[in-house]
Amino acid sequence: MTHAVRIHENGGTEVLRWEEVEVPDPGPGEAVVRQTVTGLNFIDVYFRTGLYKVPAFPAVIGNEGAGIVESTGVGVTDVSVGDRVVYCMSLGSYTQRRVVAAKQLVRIPDGITDEQAAAVMLKGCTVQYLIRRTYPVKEGETVLFHAAAGGCGLIACQWLKHLGVTVIGTVGSSEKAELAKAHGCDYPIVYTDEDVAGRVREITDGAGVPVVYDSVGKDTFDASLACLQPRGLMVSFGNASGAVEPFSPALLAAKGSLFLTRPTLATYTATREELESTSGEVFDVVGSGAVKVEVNQTYALSDAASAHRDLEARKTTGSTVLLTDA
């Protein structure tokens, strides 16, 4: 029998329930995956709390997983039975076995473990679209990346450094500052002790940065705008501290004709071609050693509640995975 973590209502970690579930046979274009690892991401918290809506209750949350293809439906050509695969942005990954649209599955290259793949797929693809497409960074530039010691942050610091970019990153403690620095962050700023905007202006000799990558949301939004140079781009790609309050677009004019975008990974991997090219570049930088994937925390899938509590309390660093023990 297959078990999954389901929610029957939105709320705190107490709504996460370990339950038996039925897994149907794959339909046309689908595959059944026996999952070995599930990735943990802050978007899972959004679905649990109701910031993002699930289609219906009860619901299996989670958006990232890795495992082995057990069976396929009619018309599946992208993967085969026995393939090691990984996917992201497919709601329902907190389970031991599941049906997934085959077009969302990517083969895991040799030399990359299931844990690494599940840890890097969503976060790595997010970093790829942020720094390669939303605002394609250039060698010699200086950028600000919030939550530099988090899952996306540690990947971004390494990748940006590999591209010849100077990285300013915010972190929540001196320990996290050391971790970020060890992964390529040139100027870690402990936001609880320092004025972020003032420190960024000091580092850049008053110029500011051309882009800010901000997954924190409400708590950092104003400071992020204050860090930008005229006509700079604010990339708001998350709400870890809560949603940004409504504001007048005139604020962007007053701050120097700034640009604002709220991108999502789903939009940037909407086609099979985009998914393969995005994930391919992620696996290339991981395979080359330019980006090292570090799974710093592991939990049993059945103990997802503990993982959520630690994630929300900002006790985690780098990537966290849930082991399905299927």
Comparing CA positions, the residue from 45, 98, 30, 87 lying closest to residue 64 is: 87
| Close Cβ partners of 84 (under 8 Å, ≥ 6 residues apart) | 66, 67, 68, 107, 108, 114, 117
The pLDDT of residue 326: 47
What does the angle CA 164 – CA 168 – CA 172 come to, to the nearest 5 degrees?
Answer: 140
Domain with CATH 3.40.50.720 in the chain: 139-262
Record the pTM: 0.88
CATH 3.90.180.10 spans which residues of the chain? Answer: 2-119+294-323
Residue 224: which of 150, 153, 170 has the closest Cα? 170
Report the distance separating Cα 4 and Cα 324, nearest Å.
9
Q: Does 2-119+294-323 carry CATH code 3.90.180.10?
A: yes
Give, in order, the Cα–Cα distances in Å from 134 to each of 159, 262, 265. 15, 10, 11
| CATH code at 139-262 | 3.40.50.720
Q: pLDDT (tens digit, 0 to 9) for every residue of the chain, 326 residues total?
A: 899 999 999 999 999 999 999 999 999 999 999 999 999 988 899 999 998 999 999 999 999 999 999 999 999 999 999 999 999 989 999 999 999 999 999 999 999 999 999 999 999 999 999 999 999 999 999 999 999 998 899 999 999 999 999 999 999 999 999 999 999 999 999 999 999 999 999 999 999 999 999 999 888 999 999 999 999 999 999 887 788 889 999 999 999 999 999 999 999 999 999 999 999 999 999 999 999 998 889 999 999 999 999 999 988 877 899 998 74
For residue 2, what are the contacts with CB-CB under 8 A and spacing of at least 6?
20, 21, 22, 23, 95, 96, 97, 326
Spell out the residues 6+ positions from residue 40 whose beta carbon is closer than 8 angstroms to its own. 299, 304, 307, 308, 311, 319, 320, 321, 322
